[in-house]
Amino acid sequence: MGGQACVLYGAAEFSRDTDPPRRTLHASSENLELLRGALRHLQGRRIALPPFDQSFLQKGHAIHFRSYHPDASRIRIDVMSVMRGVDDFEELWQRRTRFALPTGEIVDLLSVPDLVRTKKTQRDKDWPMIRRLLEADYVSDDNPSNDKVRFWLMESRTPRMLVELAQRYRAEAESLIPSRPLLASACRGDESSVEADLEEEQKLEREADRRYWKPLFEELEELRRRGYGSEEDV
């Protein structure tokens, strides 16, 4: 669900993305024991609060680990189960994309729409990634479904692409204006207004993300005050 997923979807370059591997998982007791075993194999350590506990994952916290295995030295791994504005894991799993690596190994990725939702954060680097994900998805599909067109119209962050979409799929764009008002400007071909509206959308999403994380950060501060350590063996 992180930068590696964006790379596989053609929306990022290895040299430009420094995110640690990020995973989302169903936070069942069985899964967490399997994860704990994998982390032990990697000689993993938890490197930040909160503790590695099911309750923190279910609240929306990320748990951060680092591998000290010689074959994966210093690689950081982040794990989450609940994310703002994103469906439950079971639904994400049903919509996942299966990607075959050149080695033949199969990896499971969040679908592009779900990955886009996870990127609506306060981090500056996530917003260009949303833009590139949509652009890559758009150019790779010559025969889109109605759902795909709606997704592009509702989520694209490229003014020129939105104007092109609005001209190409005028009826669909006009029907979505109540849900995304900037499509009115796109239908008029007004790229500068679309760009200004995109900035306002981003501002509102960043503020929503800040409000979402505020109580979670406060909980981490309380853990620090209570003397919980920021590192421990898995």
* Concatenated DSSP letters of 9-24: TTS--GGG--PPPEEE
> Could you tell me if 19 and 71 lie in one domain?
yes
Q: Which of 126, 148, 123, 128 is nearest to 137 (CA)?
A: 148
Residues 187 and 87 in one domain: no
Query: What would the pLDDT profile of 83-120 be if each residue is shown by its tens digit?
Result: 999 999 999 999 999 999 899 999 999 999 999 999 99
Check residue 19 and give its pLDDT: 62
Q: State residue 13's pLDDT score.
A: 55
Pair 25, 102 in one domain: yes
* Residues spanned by the domain of 155: 141-212
Whole-structure pTM value = 0.90
Helix axes 191-225, 159-168, angle to 10 degrees: 120
Residue 218 in any domain: the answer is no
C-beta separation of 9 from 136 below 8 A: yes
Q: Is 99 helix (H, G, I), strand (E, B) or coil?
A: strand
Reported as a single tens digit per residue, the pLDDT across 8-52 is 888 875 544 446 778 999 999 999 999 999 999 999 999 999 999
Whether residues 103 and 195 share a domain: the answer is no
Mean pLDDT of 152-173: 97
